[in-house]
């Protein structure tokens, strides 16, 4: 036992054995099982490169793609009361919240932002499925109201991306009360004559489907997204019948008149720009760089002012 084995050796070991490797380099596609490299997956907007399965995407990643140059400003959401029911299952609710916040780096399951999309000013709200399954509690209700109020204030359309396992059971009846609250928020937009566009992503279920996620002027879904109130397993067990192929999936709902569009995530931004501008009676968006101004319309450049003649230097 000396200072070399106690101090120097661990120090050297820590210097040389430290590996700067992020933990989740590979993600397994839940649909086809392909191992996908994280960078490749990120470049492809979290869509599997093999089977086109649309995986969950965080609000920040989505907004980075949606807004021009990835620039947006967050809209502040009022904090609700924490743990009003003192709910506890295997874990206390505040503990569950803390671990979700640590895992995602977000305060709650919805992010609201304002910015421009194809030079069209909008307000957008996005639900975060990685945060406690995107469950709708009081905060999500507050977020939707904040988004609607901001949209009315700025006279902008609201685009909402839904993804949720349903209401947040830890908030009991208070989470269910968000269904009428958010419905009123949508009504506010309608009264102001502003478009409300919903993009349903995999999965959107329960109380979320039963309220704001189904009230859009335009209903778009991502391919193969599960959209339902009660899930297929529950229905199958209740009615004891085999359900048809693709039941409650985006394409099935489109065929049955529940949706307007099913759009691939890569084409979603362009489509949202087109639809939003159509609804606002704006001319089509400018694509790419702006053309150079015509010579006739460009302001004539002023000739540089002639240099003032130099004063003769004073001689002593």
Q: How far is the CB of 244 from Zn ion (least distance, A)?
A: 23
Our CB check for Zn ion shows the closer of 48 and 75 to be: 48
The answer to whether the annotation marks 126 as part of a ligand binding site is no
Smallest separation, CB 34 to Zn ion (Å) = 5
Report the residue number, 50 or 99, with the smaller CB distance to Zn ion.
50
48 annotated to bind ligand = yes
Pick from 62, 56, 55: which is nearest to 29 by CA?
55
d(Cα 167, Cα 137) in Å, to the nearest integer? 6
Q: How far is the CB of 194 from Zn ion (least distance, A)?
A: 37
For residue 196, the cross-strand partners are 158
Q: Is the peptide bond before 203 cis (omega within 30 degrees of 0)?
A: yes
Q: What's the CA dihedral at 125, 129, 130, 131 to 10 degrees?
A: 70
For residue 210, give every residue at least 6 positions away whose Cβ sits within 8 Å of its Cβ, in sequence order, or none.
179, 229
Choice between 48 and 144, CB closer to Zn ion: 48
Q: How far is the CB of 27 from Zn ion (least distance, A)?
A: 10
Question: Is 228 marked within a binding site?
Answer: no
Residue 5 or 24: which CB sits closer to Zn ion?
24
Q: How many C-beta neighbours within 10 Å does residue 13 have?
A: 10
Q: Tell me which residues touch Zn ion (CB under 5 A).
A: 29, 31-32, 34, 48, 50-51, 53
> Residues forming the annotated binding site for Zn(2+)?
29, 32, 48, 51
């Amino acid at each position: 036992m000396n200072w070399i084995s106690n101090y120097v050796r661990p120090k050297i070991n820590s210097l040389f054995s430290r590996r700067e490797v992020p933990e989740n380099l590979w993600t397994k596609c839940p649909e086809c099982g392909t191992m996908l490299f994280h960078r490749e997956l990120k470049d492809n907007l979290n869509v599997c490169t093999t089977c086109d399965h649309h995986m969950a995407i965080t609000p920040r990643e989505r907004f980075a793609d949606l807004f021009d140059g990835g620039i947006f400003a967050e809209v502040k959401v009022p904090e609700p009361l924490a743990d009003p029911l003192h709910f506890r299952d295997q874990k206390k609710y505040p503990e569950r919240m803390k671990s979700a916040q640590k895992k995602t780096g977000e305060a709650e399951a919805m992010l609201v932002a304002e910015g421009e999309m194809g030079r069209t000013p909008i307000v957008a709200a996005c639900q975060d499925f990685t945060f406690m399954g995107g469950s709708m509690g009081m905060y999500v209700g507050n977020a939707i109201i904040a988004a609607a109020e901001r949209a009315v204030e700025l006279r902008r359309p609201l685009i909402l991306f839904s993804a949720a396992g349903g209401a947040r059971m830890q908030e009991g009846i208070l989470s269910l009360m968000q269904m009428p609250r958010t419905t009123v928020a949508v009504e506010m937009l309608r009264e102001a004559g502003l478009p409300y566009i919903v993009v349903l992503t995999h999965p959107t279920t329960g109380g979320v489907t039963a309220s704001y996620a189904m009230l859009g002027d335009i209903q778009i879904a991502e391919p193969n997204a599960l959209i339902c109130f009660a899930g297929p397993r529950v229905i199958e067990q209740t009615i004891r019948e085999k359900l048809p192929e693709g039941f409650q999936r985006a394409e099935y709902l489109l065929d049955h008149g529940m949706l307007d569009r099913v759009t691939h995530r890569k084409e979603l931004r362009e489509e949202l720009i087109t639809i939003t501008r159509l609804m606002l009676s704006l001319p089509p968006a400018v694509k790419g760089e702006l053309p150079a101004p015509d010579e006739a319309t460009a302001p004539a450049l002023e000739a540089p002012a002639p240099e003032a003649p130099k004063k003769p230097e004073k001689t002593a």
